[in-house]
Amino acid sequence: MPRIVRFYEAGGPEVLRIEEAPLEEPGKGEVRLKVEAFGLNRAEILFRQGLYLQQPKFPSRIGYEAAGVVDAVGPEVTGLKVGDRVSTIPAFMMGKYGAYGESSVFPAYAVARYPDSLSPVQGTAIWMQYLTAYGALVEFGKLTQADTVLITAASSSVGLAAIQITKSLGAKAIATSRGPGKKQALLDAGADHVIVTDEADVTKQVMELTSGRGARLIFDPVAGPFLEKLAGAAAPGGVIFEYGALSMAPTPFPLFDALGKGLNIRGYTLFLITADPHKLSRAKDFVYNRLAAGDLKPIIARTFPLAAVSAAQTYMESNQQIGKIVVTV
């Protein structure tokens, strides 16, 4: 029987259990993967803690991203066959279709081939990060080479994806990090400038770097009081995409900057892309084309074996990583 990861109560990484379970058969419109690797995301930390947009129903599976080989295909599935190398797109309820484990069933619409040039570790590190950044910056933000993009918490896999997408379209990327330890890595990843927020004022620095214009697009998973500084750094008519709540603090609305500059401050999640077949098709084409061109390159922070899945989540919570954390199976 394959090993899978489940949890029976909300809590810390220690609530995750590795258990053997009967091999599940895919139903109508589903496929089963022999999983080779799965990626970790901040959403899974929140889901495990009971703080996510979706609430777990116990016992609950967990995980959005897996790469593996299709080993069973359910009825009414077209375009996929046994033996295909694929990875999953976060477009499902993770409590039902959890990616953590040696075998998992997924909706066929949430499975896509990944380039042969990528390993399973890299293959499980593309869809969440690149689709999330693409949706905000390209689909909704209409990014052009004339733009400056402010990317906060930029050492995350999604932050690095945003840097790569911004640079691939010829725009300027300003990244932020709380401490100086990740500054060089972010510059190496393509950021034009890095602001260390523990040492410098974000609003002032962005204005200096943009000759007083500000950033037209701001891509932020932090929220909380930090939003007021971001509003100060925004250009007139700018858009601030809030796609997370890392601060876990109340988020005051920056009324006067919003009024004075005509800002658009909007909540955003990946599901605005994955729930729309036309938007998702455009996003996938963008990612495939940019991967082939070499503009997008998944950055892997560290890998863990399945037996250390709790340690992998602990490492994510430490915020030490630069890039994607992956568990190999």
CATH of the domain at 139: 3.40.50.720
Do 120 and 134 lie in one domain? The reply is: no
In a domain, 247, yes or no: yes
Do 96 and 137 lie in one domain? The reply is: no
Using a 10 angstrom Cβ sphere, with 0-12 exposed, 13-18 middle and 19 or more buried, the burial of residue 189 is buried
- What would the pLDDT profile of 100-149 be if each residue is shown by its tens digit? 999 999 999 999 999 999 999 999 999 999 999 999 999 999 999 999 99
Q: Which of the 8 DSSP states describes residue 258?
A: H
pTM of the predicted model, to two decimals? Answer: 0.96
In a domain, 168, yes or no: yes
Angle CA 288–34–99, to nearest 5: 70
Peptide bond into 252 cis (omega under 30): no
In a domain, 17, yes or no: yes
The CATH number that applies at residue 53 is 3.90.180.10
Do 167 and 112 lie in one domain? The reply is: no
Do 138 and 113 lie in one domain? The reply is: no
- Residue 95 has what pLDDT? 85
Do 225 and 181 lie in one domain? The reply is: yes
At 92, the pLDDT band (50, 70, 90 cuts) reads very high
Do 17 and 110 lie in one domain? The reply is: yes
In a domain, 277, yes or no: no
CA 216 to chain centre: 22
In a domain, 43, yes or no: yes
Question: Structural domain of residue 13, as residue ranges?
Answer: 3-126+298-328
DSSP bridge pairs for 68: 35, 86
- What would the pLDDT profile of 27-51 be if each residue is shown by its tens digit? 999 999 999 999 999 999 999 999 9
In a domain, 238, yes or no: yes
The 10 Å Cβ neighbour count of residue 229 is 20
